[in-house]
Structures are given as structure tokens and as C-alpha cells.
Amino acid sequence: MRVSDEFMDAVLADADWDLTARHGGRVVQSVKARELWRQIARAAWECADPGLQFDTTINMWHTSPNTDRINGSNPCSEYMHIDNSACNLASLNLMKFLQDDGTFDVDAFKHAIEVLFSAQEIIVGAADYPTEKIAENSRKFRQLGLGYANLGALLMASGLAYDSDEGRAWAAAITALMTGHAYAVSARTAGRMGPHEGYEENATPMLDVLRMHRDASYRIDEALAPAEILEAAQRSWEEAVDLGARHGVRNAQASVLAPTGTIGLLMDCDTTGIEPDLGLVKFKKLVGGGNMAIVNQTVPRALRKLGYSEMESMAIEAYIDENKSIVGAPGLHPEHLPVFACSMGDNTIHYLGHVKMMGAVQPFISGAISKTVNMPEDATIEDVANLHMDAWKLGVKAVAIYRDNCKVGQPLSTAKKGGEESSSSVTATDSVAAELFTRIEQLESALEVAKSEGQHVVVGALRERMPRRRVSTTFAFRVADCEGYVTVGEYEDGRPGEVFIKVSKQGSTLAGIMDAFSISISLGLQHGVPLATYVRKYVNMKFEPSGMTDDADLRIATSLVDYIFRRLALDYLSPSDREELGVLSTSERIQPTLPEVAEQATPTVNASVQPTLVDVSEKPAEQPKLLNRGQQRDAPMCYQCGNAMQRAGSCYVCSSCGATSGCS
């Protein structure tokens, strides 16, 4: 949701706010701005949506306002520019530039920026885009999104707390260096290749924004930021402004801070984007089921930086491994606990610490910051409203919050002491949900016990054995010159649970294969495979023997299994299921009106039934009518052109290309 400075001022003044029509702009209703503000906060408190984007702040830092204003962003809110444009992203692992002595390798960082930014610039012209308009704007403004990951690990390895003035000064200086040097590279490239096509109409606001970035770099606390990083950042911004004024700028945007969730794992990062660590030990839910434990690898280096001996570090690491927390670790000094604070768990960063970090680096980002501000489960609606207000006052372009357990399922969770995963609890007021959650916990506990005893239970694959005495039916069949018998055993509720197929006079090989096939089908039915699944797979399978049958409901079969599973479908599946599968009996096929086709007739009123002689003599000859053949749902697809074939005797013919199934 986007809000303007005018709306925020109305909230502060408790003034009225006009709701206007989408078209025409007429005032539809006036409401209290503060009441609307509380509704936004309440929605975010309940389900973490909506996030807020501060429209005035975004457009104040816009480099191309003379072309168009910024109306929206990508879903993660880090890329913000004109409509119908695109931006390719790339991120650097900050830990790769932290040297063994604890200093940041400024030269290597600048070199990496030059290489990566130049590569991104090349991609702009070589890339394909989803629409012509997006391609046009992307090549006209050449927006790039350089960023970084592993900031949280960098601060921890440097012995700095994420929620500290020193940590924010480090982050601001590094971000200022990254974007400032990227724009300097862009300006040098413009000196050789010319600025982007949209530069001339936006030269003044573009340079004004560069100067705003430069001026902000001089407001970083020199006493807290590393001198070599801050000096390099300020030099880069001076160079970017100077070269930009002389040559223009090759790229309308240079940097964003993306989430880097997936690429962070590939780059072996402990933390993603600008985020701190979620927890020193956390569990990631996998799409296919199960969890993956992710353990922070920066703790040993941070302990060495803080002066702990090897034995002390090993003891602390062992405690974390056993208790999934650093709180209470033997020998850990209390003043060092904030260094290892995370977004969740029992040693958390206050949610305002997240917002302050965003406010520290936002002045040095062309786009915005994709970040989640983690809040504890007991945070109030007022806390959410105040957080949004603080983000606006700090100049953040966009902010999104997540209150722990405000959604039914969350992909990442921390671990409690004792190794138990912190799961999404359900409030006691919802008795049904609470009962369901209790049942889930019981099943998960039972599953863990079974695994520990070596009995791996797979849900849905438990065999439901047939009763010792069961009802069964046997039917004889003939397909072409092959005769046989099928016996179907049933559960007490009438479901088929086993199938025995005996083929007479066909030799031991075919009889043995059919016996083995029967066992396979029977085991599948007893393990929960629906009969409809077998019907869908085996109907229309073609091999010899095939042809006419002695079954009045199924006159033609393309193979033994085709007939057997059609017969089972007729006996055990509902008409709607069979219709979906295309299995219909002879009587159903010859109905004047097929299923789902409404018969339409117009009654004759006051008309003579017998025509007169004059009518007969004057009546023109009837033109032959074209009869549309109804779709045969059990017909196979043509192996040459892919269209549905039509039955022709005991075979099929394609009405499109003329191919046949083998008998014409």
C-alpha cells in the first residue's frame, strides 16, 4: 500500500482524509486519517500484509521524474522506477572482502563492483524482455541493481552488534561505497559510450539525486565508521558527481538491496541481503516435506574477534549445538550477547533496530530495500503503527513487517532449547484450530518415535489388508480369440482390493505375466492407489490380442488391460468419474443425448401433420446436412499430429492428417 507525506501529516494531525474516485478524482467519502492508519496497522498485525511504500520519499529520490513518476515496484519492493521497465540484479558476498585481520578490503570491493557492474551493463542490451514496451524503457534508462548479501554475518564477524550505532555506521559506509563507485563506473562508461537515452530530459534531477547521495555520505559518523571505507565512499561520490556533470550517466539506477534468499544459499551466506541472522540454528521447511537445519558458520570467527580462546570457543559452540541458543553459554560475557542477537529466538534484535538499519543505508540505494522487520508474537497493533511511522520519519522508501506466527505456516523457524523446533502456535480462542494443531503435534511426535526406532512411516503408503473372509465376483471375458476370467475381491464397503486375472489357452509365459500383473495391481489397490488412476493409465493401451469382445457393454477393446479396466470402471466407478475418464457403456453411448448435452426441441403448435400435394410439389429439395461427430473421450491422440482420433470399426482414424491406428 502506498501512502504520501500528505496522508502521514494528516495522521499526525488527526485530520480528515478524502477518499477519491479512481476516475475523475471526485471525493467519495471522508474518513479520519488516523482511523485508516490503524486499519492498516491492524491488517499488518494480523497477517503481515500490507507492506507500506512511502510515495513522496520514493519520488523525491527519483532520477527520471521528467519522463514519468514512480507508481509501483516489483513484489519485493526493492526495484522502483517508471512503469514498464526492468532491472537485472546482482549481489556481492560481503564476507569475501573481510580479511583475516578484520579489515575490509576496499580495493578488492571496488574492483568487484567495476567487473560486476560492467557485466550488468552489457546484459541490458543482450537480454530479452517480456514486452516491447519493457524492452524499450529498459534499454532507454538501463536500470541496474547491484547489491550485497551477508551484511549480518560481516557485522557479527567484526564483533559488532547489528542493532548498534557502530553496526549501522559500517553498513552505511559500505553501502555508500558500493553505490557511489557504481555510479562513478557508470559515468566513466558514459564518457566512452554516451549516457542513457533518457538522460537529457532528466539531466537536472539525475544530478540532483547524485548530489543528495553525496551529501548523505558526509553525514555518516566518522568516529564510528571505518575510516578507509568512508573516505573511499566519499571520494567515489565526488567522482560520480563530477564525471556525471561532464559526461552524463550511463544508468538511471545503480543499486538495490534484494532479498537474496536463494542465491544467498548458493553463495554460502549465513545471512541474506541486509538481514541479520534469523537464528544461530534455524530450520527451513522444504517443499517436498521435512526440514533442513541451517547452522550459522560465523560464530567461531566472531568469538575469536572478541578475544575468546580456542577452548572457550569450543565450549560455547558445543553449547549452541546442544541447546540451539547462545544464551547461558559457559564463559560468554554478557556484554557480547548483542553481537549474536538474531531476528527470532531468545536473543532477539528489537524491531526498531531493523528499521534504524534500513534508515542508515537507504540514502545510498538507488532503489529500495527488500527486508522484513521481524516483530515478536506479543507485539501490539500500536507497536506496528509506531514502527511504520518511524520508518517514514527515517526516510525509508518501503517497509514490511512480520509478526512471529501471524501466518499458519512460515518457511523459516528458529529452534528452542532442547532441540525442539519453534512451531506456529494457534491461539486458544480458536478451539477448532487449537485441537487440530494439537493433533498435528501428536502425529509429528509419533513419526519421530517411529523414525528413531528405524520404522520409517510414509504417509499414504500404509497397506490396508483385505479381510480374511471377503466377498468376490468373477466374470468371464473374451477379447478377439483370447478368453479368460477375472476375480475381484472387495473390502467390506464394496471397494475393490485385489484382482486375479487368468488367461486360458495362452501358454505359461502370458499366464505368468498376468499373474505378476495381478499381484502388482492388488498391492497398489491395498496401498491406496485409486482405481480411477489405474483406469486412466491402462484404458486405450493397445497391443494384441485386441478386437471384438463378448461383453454387451464393451464391444471393442484395444488390448486385454484396456478391456479389464473398462469393465472394472463400469462396475466400481460412478457415472461422473467414468464420464471424466471417457469410459461409457454401449447403452450410454447410443443415448440420443450424450451426458452434459441438453436436448432441445420445439413443440409443434397448430400445424398440419400431413403435408398437402402442393406443399410436396413446391418444397425445394433438402440440402444435405453436415453431421458433427461427437467427441469420443476414450479415443487416443494421433501419434503424428496430436489431434483426437475417431473410431473406425475396431481401429481409429485421424480426421486431420488421415493417419490410422493400423487397419486401413
Name the amino acid, one letter, at 51.
Answer: G
What integer pLDDT is reported at residue 409 of this predicted model? 61
What integer pLDDT is reported at residue 642 of this predicted model? 62
**What distance separates the 2 farthest-apart alpha carbons in the chain?**
119
Q: What is the DSSP letter of 358?
A: H
Phi first, then psi, for residue 493 (nearest 5°) are: -90, 5
In the predicted structure, residue 203 carries a pLDDT above the cut 50 = yes
In the predicted structure, residue 459 carries a pLDDT above the cut 80 = no
Q: What is the mean pLDDT of residues 257-283?
A: 90
When pLDDT is cut at 50, 70 and 90, the band that residue 623 belongs to is low
What integer pLDDT is reported at residue 45 of this predicted model? 95
What integer pLDDT is reported at residue 468 of this predicted model? 87
Higher pLDDT, 278 or 593: 278
Name the amino acid, one letter, at 547.
Answer: G
pLDDT tens digit sequence for 319-373: 998 888 999 999 999 999 999 999 988 899 999 999 999 999 999 999 999 999 9
As given in the structure block, the three cell numbers for residue 500 are 486375479
Q: What is the mean pLDDT of residues 308-321?
A: 94
Fold that domain 59-278+295-305+331-407 belongs to in CATH: Anaerobic Ribonucleotide-triphosphate Reductase Large Chain (3.20.70)
The mean pLDDT value of the chain amounts to 86
What does the domain layout of the chain look like in residue ranges?
Answer: 59-278+295-305+331-407, 472-589
Q: What is the mean pLDDT of residues 496-522?
A: 85
> Which residue out of 6, 46, 47, 76 is catalytically annotated?
76
Distance CA 540, CA 562 (A): 6
> Which residue out of 66, 78, 377, 453 is catalytically annotated?
78
What integer pLDDT is reported at residue 451 of this predicted model? 53
What integer pLDDT is reported at residue 660 of this predicted model? 77
Hey, how many other C-beta atoms are within 10 angstroms of the C-beta on 70? 23
In the predicted structure, residue 292 carries a pLDDT above the cut 70 = yes
What integer pLDDT is reported at residue 457 of this predicted model? 46
What integer pLDDT is reported at residue 432 of this predicted model? 56
For the entire predicted model, the pTM comes to 0.64
In the predicted structure, residue 239 carries a pLDDT above the cut 50 = yes
Half-sphere exposure of 465 (CA within 13 A, CB side): 3
What integer pLDDT is reported at residue 52 of this predicted model? 96
**DSSP H helical ranges for 335-452:** 351-361, 381-393, 431-452
What integer pLDDT is reported at residue 465 of this predicted model? 86
When pLDDT is cut at 50, 70 and 90, the band that residue 590 belongs to is low
> Which residue out of 47, 66, 74, 87 is catalytically annotated?
74
Residues paired with 487 in a beta bridge: 474, 500
Q: What is the mean pLDDT of residues 277-285?
A: 83
Percent above pLDDT 90 for the chain = 61
The mean-pLDDT minimum among 167-181, 379-393, 579-593 falls in 579-593
pLDDT tens digit sequence for 527-567: 888 999 999 989 988 888 888 898 888 888 998 899 999 99
Distance CA 541, CA 566 (A): 11
Catalytic status, residue 74 = yes
What integer pLDDT is reported at residue 26 of this predicted model? 93
What integer pLDDT is reported at residue 552 of this predicted model? 87
Q: What is the DSSP letter of 342?
A: B
Higher pLDDT, 480 or 5: 5
